[in-house]
Structure 1
Amino acid sequence: MEKMGVEMLTRHDEEGYEGRELILYEEARLQIKEIIQNIKKNLPFSISPFQKTVSRIIDSLISESGDVLYNKALHIDRTPSLDLSSNMVNVCIFAIEIGMGLNYRRDDLERLALAAILHDIGMAKVDEDILKKPERLTVEEFNIVKKHTEYGAGILKGLGRDVLWMSEIIPREHERLNGRGYPNGLKDGEIHEYALIIGIADIYEALTHHRFHRKPLLPLDAMKEILTVERESFPERIIKAAISKLPVFPAGSKVRLNSNEIGIVICTNDLSPFRPTVEIILDSSGRKPRTKRIINLRENPLLFIVSQVYD
């Protein structure tokens, strides 16, 4: 295992994360990294190991420890990076969550997850200097980046008949209902639902992570951006599932209530995503409470979150 990966696991274990789930995340990331390297070197590869990996990721997300993987996928780096492997694993995790919000059956979840974890394999053929550019891309550079969908389709064709179904998904994850996506400007009815799910998961991942040309948004601000800019790009049912299953106030985040108390989210609420359960850590005067106080905001309508709190 890479030294960086071992250091990452050690650091997060110290923060209270469960090592088993983080090892699973790292194994998935390293599998993706190996495939990316093989693509760059024009070497053959197999996606068979991913079928077992995505199944394990699904098992984790539906278990009691599901928050561990989700929070890892949402972990914000302090500096920008070009880590395609982390991006692809993160999008896979977010896509599975949305699929669960749509009540997908297990076999649909596994196919969605497999397509999601491989969604950007075509990026392996894009010039890294363009991807690392700290300024906004020129029109010409963006057109080069957009070719990753074409590259991805070509890579899939070389993997055999068993994965041809993904040619309807991976090259179309940037298509949008309103016809403003690429590469073909497809519209409603022409885009596989998996592609739309992966598309919104990819946007959420990009908004919540540091990029060379911009800083990350907090989950709440990222979801507001999606609702404002992308409302016509995706079906309402997918947007609702994203709001439900991609918590705007994830477990561990700090929030300020209208009572001016500060709390830490200890449990999210799929039915009322804006009203999680919080533990008060500072009272309205900024002092630590004398006794433990846990509030389910869904059951306390007079209290609500007014903002997230930055560390």
Structure 2
Amino acid sequence: MQAACLLQPGVEISLRIVQLGKDALGKVLARSIYVPDGRVLLRAGVTLSSTYVAHLLQRGYASVYIQDELVPGLEVVDAVSETTRVRATALMVAALDAACNSRALDHARVSRVVDDILADLHKEAGFVFELTSLRSADEYSFVHSVNVSVLSVILGQSIFMGYRDLKQLGMGALLHDLGKIKVPAELLQRKGGLSPEEFELVKAHATLGFDIIRSHPEFSTMAAHVALQHHERLDGSGYPRGLRHGEILAFGLITGIADVYDALVSNRPYRPGFHPSEAIQQLVQGAGTLFDENLVRKLMETMAVYPVGSILWLSDNTVAVAVRQQRSLPAHPVVAVIADPTHALITPCEFGLDARPDLYVIAALPDYPDRVKEQLVANG
């Protein structure tokens, strides 16, 4: 049965993610792109020419947000403000540089950034969060560290951690990968497999990060243990110490899940990023053996399974776009159906997936189906 149209939105400029390439040419950039130190690389409102697209690809970007009027009124709301994200990313540039050159970490600056994150994440019960995942290949470490801190705090809040613990968790999570500055970059970026000896070098980053943080007495031991334990797993298959259930601190359990989730949704040199729904499913498969079941459940309750802008193939063969989240319903956003079962464009109509139990999501698509794109081109 085709989805019924319950609401027809007005005409507003919207946005969606598009892969950099021919589909991005001539489109208008909807979100500014920043370099890690906070400077603007390309400002929102610029039309993406072949020169701009080539430059972004050269810098390691795979996708960008563009303006798209097919589904009006879309607004992707990051878990933290743009100001907080820019400041946090710039901090990570400085922190990694300091660690690489044996200079002191700026404890006060780390503390202020985590305070900003905590303030941004102070939401009402049932709020469904989204994380920005767009980044260049060179920015992966910086943006990943920020996202892991944000998601760790979200999970900490979900189990009612107090402010002091959340602060230490956020600081440790922000610095969880600091030890990677001691690992050859070629090993971290390699597309092929690693030899046993090379993998041992990579695994050493957990202990190296712990040592760096512990060399700064102003950082707590608990924050340092985040770096040490974020790769430990319940069944003892993790590293560096092969700890098991009951031996891993809550900080390590939380950050381990946050680390894996953000790594999965990120584009890497050796694979494209997974959709959040796929990343969550992988964590669910490891719940109870690799990851704490309760924390995986909390992740599913707090993070959007289908972030705003997700293009969805529904069970009646229609195509829809997630347009906004619903409180306490992370797997059931409000969607706008934009194409009928033959993929012919229709006037977008909205409804909450929870209101249509006869419908379910078959898959999240990387882009509009070919017939939809052909009609968009024909319509100008």
Q: Same fold (TM over 0.5)?
A: yes
- More helix per residue: 1
Task: Choose which of 311, 315, 338 in structure 2 pairs with 1:254.
Answer: 311
Say yes or no: does 1:302 pair with 2:378.
Answer: no
SS for the counterpart of 1:70 is coil
Structure of greater Rg: 2
Q: Secondary structure at the match of 2:330?
A: coil
Any conservation in 2 of the 1:9–1:23 contact (CA below 8 Å)?
no
User: Which one-letter code corresponds to 2:354 in the other structure?
Assistant: R
Cα deviation for residue 82 of structure 1 reads: 6.1
Partner residue of 1:96 out of 139, 143, 153: 153
Which whole-Å CA distance do the structure 2 matches of 1:184 and 1:223 have between them? 26
Using the TM superposition, give the Cα deviation of residue 148 of structure 1 relative to its aligned residue in structure 2, in angstroms.
0.8
Give the alignment of 1:98-113 within 5 angstroms.
Answer: 98-113=155-170
Specify the code of the residue in structure 1 equivalent to 2:261: Y
**Aligned Cα root-mean-square deviation (Å):** 2.8
- Gaps in structure 1 of 5+ consecutive residues: none
2:293 pairs, out of 236, 243, 253, with 236
Q: Does 1:6 align with 2:63?
A: no
**How far did residue 142 of structure 1 move?**
0.9
Q: 1:231 to 1:250 in 2, by over 3 A?
A: farther
Q: Is 1:60–2:94 an aligned residue pair?
A: no
What residue ranges of structure 2 are gaps of 5+ in the alignment?
Answer: 1-33, 47-63, 68-74, 368-380
Q: 1:87 Cα deviation (Å)?
A: 1.3
- Alignment of structure 1 residues 256-295 onto 2, 5 Å: 256-269=313-326, 271-290=328-347, 292-295=348-351
AA matched with 1:164 = T
Change (3 A) 1:26 1:97: same
The aligned amino acid for 1:52 is R
1:293 CA drift (Å): 2.1
Q: Give the structure 2 partner of residue 25 of structure 1.
A: 85
Matches within 5 A, 1:65-144: 70-72=130-132, 74-75=133-134, 77=135, 80-81=137-138, 83-144=140-201
TM-superposed CA distance for 1:104, in Å, is 3.2
Summarize deviations over 1:205-232 as a string: whole Å, max 9, x none: 1111122222221112222222224541
Among the aligned pairs, what percent are the same residue?
A: 24
CA offsets per residue over residues 11-61 of structure 1, 9 Å max, x none?
A: 778656679922321211111111111111111222221222122123223
Alignment partner of 1:165 out of 215, 222, 226: 222
Say whether the 8 Å CA contact 1:134–1:212 is kept in structure 2: yes
Aligned positions, number: 305
Structure with the higher fraction of residues in strand conformation? 2
Residue 18 and residue 204 in structure 1: after superposition, are their counterparts in 2 closer, same or farther (change >3 A)? closer
SS in structure 1 opposite 2:40?
Answer: helix
Q: Which residue of 2 aligns with 1:50?
A: 110
Indicate the SS of the match to 2:312.
strand
Q: Residue 118 and residue 245 in structure 1: after superposition, are their counterparts in 2 closer, same or farther (change >3 A)?
A: same
* Code of the aligned partner of 1:310: P
Deviation at 1:289, TM superposition (A): 3.1
Rounded Cα–Cα distance in structure 2 between residues aligned with 1:269 and 1:209: 24
Q: Distance in 2 between matches of 1:135 and 1:247?
A: 32
Matched, 1:209 2:243: no
Give, in angstroms, the shift of residue 116 of structure 1. 1.0
Report if aligned partners of 2:169, 2:223 keep a CA contact under 8 Å in 1: no
